[in-house]
Amino acid sequence: MNIFIREAVADDIGTIHAFILALADYERLAHEVKGDRATLERHLFGPRPMAEVLIAEHEDKAIGFALFFHNFSTFEARPGIYLEDLFVLPEARGVGAGKALLARLARLTIERDCARLEWSVLDWNEPAIAVYRAIGAKPMDDWTIQRLDGDALAALAQSA
């Protein structure tokens, strides 16, 4: 299958939002989606974009996406790329779109002189984990993701 990877543009916002909703459904997290198209568009394509998106296409149809942003490694003293979301439509899985998106991200990581490409995966998502192992990704077993949001985030902010 011939997969074409391109950078998303503002006109893709509906497609990106639909992919996010489909991903949330797949991950059994649809109840956690709070973002709407307008907020997403402001943060992806507004005056200060906070993330970037790649779109995977086959025969001029969007079949997947990758949303990513830069982070920074103090130990490396270099930026990195963090892949927030990678999703391929169920009917298009197994044809290489996910790997093509990851390969493009790897190339961007190198072109931008970044030290690494990182992401998280749900521990039950065996098909994705198998793909990641096949391309050489390693789990960071000594690290646990921490999150501060909602009331706890507001309380800490008020304590400053």
Catalytic residues: 132
The set of residues, in sequence order, having a beta carbon less than 8 Å from that of 93 and lying 6+ positions away, is: 127
Helix (H) or strand (E) holding 26: helix 13-26
Report how far Cα 38 is from the mean position of its chain's Cα atoms: 19
What lies within 8 Å, CB to CB, of 84 at 6+ separation is 51, 67, 68, 69, 119
